[in-house]
Amino acid sequence: MTETVHRTTCNRDCPDACSILATVRDGVVVKLEGDPEHPITRGFLCFRTSRFPERQAGPERVRQPLIRRGERLEPASWNEALDLVAEKLRQVRAESGPAAIFHYRSGGSLGILKHLTDLFFDLFGPCTGKVGDICSGAGEAAQLEDLGISDSNDLFDLRHSRHIVLWGKNPTASSVHLVPLLKEVRAAGARIVAIDPVRNKAASLADVTLQPAPGRDFELAMAVARCLFDAGRIAAEASTLCDHLDDYRRLVESRSAAQWAELAAVPLALVQELADCYANGPTATLVGWGMQRRQRGGTIVRALDALAAVSGNLVRSGGGVSFYFARRKAFRPFGPPVKHPRSIREPLLGADLLAAKDPPVRVLWVTAGNPVAMLPDAATVARAIEATEFVVVADCFLTDTSRRAHVVLPVPTLLEDSDLLGSYGHHWIGESRPVVPMPEGVKHEVDIFQELAARLRVEDFPKGHLDQLKRHALADIAGQGGSLEMLRKYPAVRSPVADPLLFRHGRVPTATGRVQLLTAAPPEPVVDVPAAAPGASAPLWLFSNSTERSQASQWAGKELGARSWCVVHPGAVPGMQDGQRVRIYSSHGSLEVDLRFDPAQRTDVAIMPKGGGFDRGHSANVLIPARPTDLGLGAAYLDCLVRIVPA
Ligand SMILES: Nc1nc2c(c(=O)[nH]1)N[C@H]1C(S)=C(S)[C@@H](COP(=O)(O)OP(=O)(O)OC[C@H]3O[C@@H](n4cnc5c(=O)[nH]c(N)nc54)[C@H](O)[C@@H]3O)O[C@H]1N2
Ligand SMILES: Nc1nc2c(c(=O)[nH]1)N[C@H]1C(S)=C(S)[C@@H](COP(=O)(O)OP(=O)(O)OC[C@H]3O[C@@H](n4cnc5c(=O)[nH]c(N)nc54)[C@H](O)[C@@H]3O)O[C@H]1N2
Ligand code: SF4
Ligand SMILES: [Mo]
């Protein structure tokens, strides 16, 4: 028996980018642990990755290419699969032009080398691409507008904060490695405020919790700002740091603090307490991703940027508005940004795909995503994909999307992958390397595209092996401690180009060097009210939040729900019982779920898990209409009303 320990970096779509220590016995991964020497990972992993070996060995794993023959996907050789795919790409480009080919890449692996898949389609076409970002589009666009960048101070700058506001952020599910740091700074005297319409475990980290009405954070931020103006507690620097201060003030003063607070459904005393936090900084605002997935999501983030700026917290240590960490900044791109001949809007993918004409989309290639389960209006997405002439999906598993493919190309899992990782929750970078070899019938994405490039004579596609490509990506930082050798030698390497304090000189990188304050209220969101039915509840706001046990549509653990569930306050569903089977419906679709009671929730919300298979009848996205956010073409997943009836 031989037992060895190997280090790799987790490539999942998660802010933590953990350093993993894998124990391998006789070629089998028997244990995964967090690296105790990595300052963020701190020796532990999340539920879903510590159980990943089960999933890797499970029945859904794809271990060789599959080709559709009639109703069935049947095993094929790589030569057969790649010949077929190459022939189809060549034929469709010749007949209909490259715009008839659409490459859709999501975040199933955050490896930097995965961007080479985009490069291939740019060089072969340019082909149709996606525009917008259903994950963080609205918030990033908001910060680019206000601050010129969307990045964060060093994570450990939180040690200088007097208050930390978790504004719509639930680290206990979505970024568990933030939790030890929050506990540490709280033990050292910092106060934590959690603002979330949903009562979740993050509340246990907080000294003060606010449960505003869903989507009313703009009003809440205005209420706080109004308290600051009324009490003369606006920072002296605001007039030099910010543009449009007078117009912003007019907006804030268009209602009294009490009126704004009432719209947000937060008691005025709590608003005042929050205003005290901002006035007695340094106060760091950690902005979650949930609330920007609303039609007013971009404006909500802009309101938080403004609040931090005028209260004097934006440009100081211990302050800041952290929405995102620029995870790709350290890496040299493989090609210039390309203008696509046509774009499909990610939040409206199903409808856009169906409507695409001149030419229609004939080939869809999906990399690292499960759009059938994860995009809004999932039924339309499924229908659009089913109607597409030729669908190729590269994935490690059979999913709602790969089951609809004509060709499935199996790729390495996070334990077999080889790549480079940045993080969107801190500034450390890492390398992933296989802790076990991939099965014989599986190919790395770089190899897949190099072989296709050879077949299709895409001469400019990089030909080097993985290490050479990694060195290219690290070329800008190799001389500053970020070489491949350094990544292999040390348990953790901080990106040498990440500034620990973004706006230390009191200026932001906008055109004027000043913060762009918002000056107008967002319009009311458009929502469809589901029709009443006998015995049905009142309309409830649907939340589909991250759960500890799943990574988007990828579930971990044994009891991966033959059944899905929905959590409500008992008063939200008069006459119904805890544990009862119910039907949850919107104006768009319906699902059967188990009802769970939680008296700590508001009476106007219904909370489902974020993932959940489409074919299993669990995906909340069947209920959710496809609507874009106000900025950045995000998806307004959360502007969705449902009703509940006994099943
Ligand atoms: N376990 C697990 N971790 C994950 C993921 C996963 O699927 N599972 N997904 C990863 C991905 S892709 C991402 S993008 C990230 C982020 O994933 P998210 O789940 O978006 O992350 P959070 O921001 O922590 O959580 C969103 C919070 O916003 C709250 N919220 C919703 N609407 C409002 C509102 O109007 N106002 C306020 N104040 N709060 C609101 C929700 O109740 C929820 O608690 O997490 C990553 N981490
Ligand atoms: N209702 C609702 N829907 C949501 C959200 C929500 O909060 N509520 N959140 C949204 C957010 S933030 C996001 S980011 C999206 C996530 O949506 P997706 O990115 O579609 O997420 P996953 O279901 O994790 O699908 C990723 C797929 O990539 C595969 N994969 C893993 N590694 C590799 C690799 O190296 N190469 C390839 N080719 N494939 C790989 C995995 O096996 C998996 O099937 O979901 C969005 N959808
Ligand atoms: S999914 Fe996130 S928390 Fe879990 S191991 Fe990967 S990086 Fe760490
Ligand atoms: Mo995401």
The CATH number assigned to the domain holding 234 equals: 3.40.228.10
Ligand 1 neighbours, Cβ below 6 Å, are: 13-14, 48, 135, 167-170, 173-174, 195-198, 200, 214-215, 217, 288-291, 543, 545-546, 548, 550-552, 610, 638
Interior angle at CA 638, CA 635 and CA 641, nearest 5: 125
Strands 581-585 and 605-609: unpaired
Largest CA-CA distance found in the chain, in angstroms, rounded: 73
Our measurement of the distance from residue 557's CA atom to the centroid of its chain's CA atoms, rounded to an integer in Å, reads 22
Residues 358 and 314 in one domain: no
Q: Does the pLDDT value for residue 562 go beyond 80?
A: no
| pLDDT for the residue 560 | 52
* Domain shared by 92 and 178, yes or no: no
For residue 595, the domain's CATH number is: 2.40.40.20
| Binding site membership of 21 for ligand 3 (Cβ less than 6 Å) | no
- Neighbour tally for 269: CB within 10 Å: 8
Q: Is the CB of 22 under 6 A from ligand 3?
A: no
210 φ, ψ (degrees, to nearest 5): -120, 135
The two tokens of residue 218 are: 């703009």
| 275 and 183 assigned to the same domain | yes
Taking CA atoms, 315 is separated from 41, 235, 246, 309, in Å, by 28, 11, 20, 7
Answer yes or no: is 579 within a domain: yes
350 and 459 together in one domain: yes
* H-helix or E-strand spanning residue 69: strand 66-69
Tell me the sheet residues that pair with 643: 585
Q: Read off the pTM.
A: 0.98
| Amino acid at the residue 473 | A
Mean pLDDT of 269-274: 98
Confidence (pLDDT) at 559: 54
Average pLDDT value for residue range 231-258: 98
The percent of residues in the chain predicted with pLDDT above 90, rounded, is 96
Q: Ligand 2: which of 377, 396, 401, 542 to mutate, most ligand atoms within 8 Å of CB?
A: 396
CATH number at residue 108: 3.40.50.740
C-alpha of residue 190 to centroid of ligand 1, in Å: 23
Both 236 and 118 in a single domain? no
Rounded to an integer, what is the distance from CA 364 to the centroid of its chain?
A: 22
- Overall number of domains in the chain: 3
Average the pLDDT over 460-480 and give the result: 97
How remote is the CA of residue 51 from the centroid of ligand 3, in Å?
Answer: 11
Q: How confident is the model at residue 1 (pLDDT cuts 50, 70, 90)?
A: confident
**What residue owns the CA closest to ligand 3's atom 7?**
17
pLDDT at 561 over 80: no
Q: Write down the number of H helices and E strands in the chain.
A: 19, 29
Task: Please give all residues whose CB falls under 5 A of ion ligand 4, grouped by chain where several chains appear.
Answer: 135
Distances, alpha carbon 337 to alpha carbons 122, 123, 327, 333, in Å: 9, 11, 17, 9
Cα of 126 to ligand 3 centre, how many Å?
A: 34
DSSP state for residue 202 in the 8-state scheme = G
Alpha-carbon span 559 to 561, nearest angstrom:
5
- pLDDT tens for 578-598 read 999 999 999 999 999 999 999
Q: Residue 558: pLDDT above 70? A: no
Q: Is the CB of 378 under 6 A from ligand 2?
A: no
Same domain, 394 and 262: no
> Structure tokens of 438?
């991939």
In the predicted structure, residue 142 carries a pLDDT above the cut 90: yes
What is the arithmetic mean of pLDDT over 16-35?
Answer: 97
What residues make up the domain containing 605? Answer: 540-646
Check whether residue 178 and residue 99 sit in a common domain: no
Write phi, then psi, for 95 (nearest 5 degrees): -80, -40
- What gap in Å lies between CA 562 and CA 549, rounded to an integer? 14
Q: Is residue 26 part of a domain?
A: no
290 domain residue, yes or no: yes
Mode of pairing for the β-strands spanning 191-195 and 163-167: parallel
Tell me the best of 374, 442, 615 to mutate to test the pocket of ligand 2, counting ligand atoms within 8 Å of each CB and taking the most. Answer: 374
* The predicted structure's pLDDT at residue 409: 99
Instruction: Indicate if ligand 3 lies below 6 Å from the C-beta of 49.
Output: yes
Q: What average pLDDT does this structure show over 175-199?
A: 98
- Give domain status of residue 270, yes or no: yes
How would DSSP label each residue in 222-245? HHHHHHHHHTT-S-TTHHHHEESH
- Asked if 489 and 482 touch (Cβ cutoff 8 Å), the reply is no
Kindly give the distance from the C-alpha atom of residue 545 to the centroid of ligand 3, in angstroms, as a whole number.
17
